[in-house]
Amino acid sequence: MKRISWPILLGMTLLVGCQNAETRVETKLSTEQTEQKAPTSKNTNTTFPYPNLLSKSEQSFALLVVGDQETPIENDKKITDKVQDILILPELEMAQKAYPVLNIKTEPAYILFDRAGVIHQSKDINELTTYLEQNNPK
């Protein structure tokens, strides 16, 4: 029991710490840096409680995988073509504690995000790949 509880406690601490991390703002930009910066659209959705799960790009999705440790998602070309950020949590309890608003009930769970929030949730990896093949990021 002690072997399992320490990694879970450490993982939860890291997840909570990442959610509370503030982004640093650069106070001074040189004219060269200002000219090189391309205009980017900012995520204006402040209602989603877990902004760290949202996609950072309009051209890709983000994915939260809960409980599936047997399928190497990072090696699946159908998924990685359209998903830029993948977060894998090994246990359902860990996901429920870290993200209670998502109301995750089963394991495995595949939750797909765009820049605004959850756009697809499934229990089957084949259903996820079918969704990704039929839908493009907006």
Domain range list for the chain: 49-138
Report in angstroms the alpha-carbon separations of 53 from 6, 26, 31, 103.
24, 24, 33, 15
Q: Please report the pLDDT score of residue 5 as a whole number.
A: 72
Stretches where the chain sits below pLDDT 70 are 1-2, 9-10, 16-46, 138
pTM score of the predicted model: 0.64
Residue 21: the pLDDT is 53
CA distances from 30 to 18, 42, 95, 106, 117 (A): 29, 22, 42, 50, 35
**pLDDT of 99-115, one tens digit each?**
999 989 999 999 999 99
Query: 49-138 has which CATH code?
Result: 3.40.30.10
Task: Give DSSP secondary structure letters for 63-90.
Answer: EEEES--SS-GGG-HHHHTTEEEEEEES
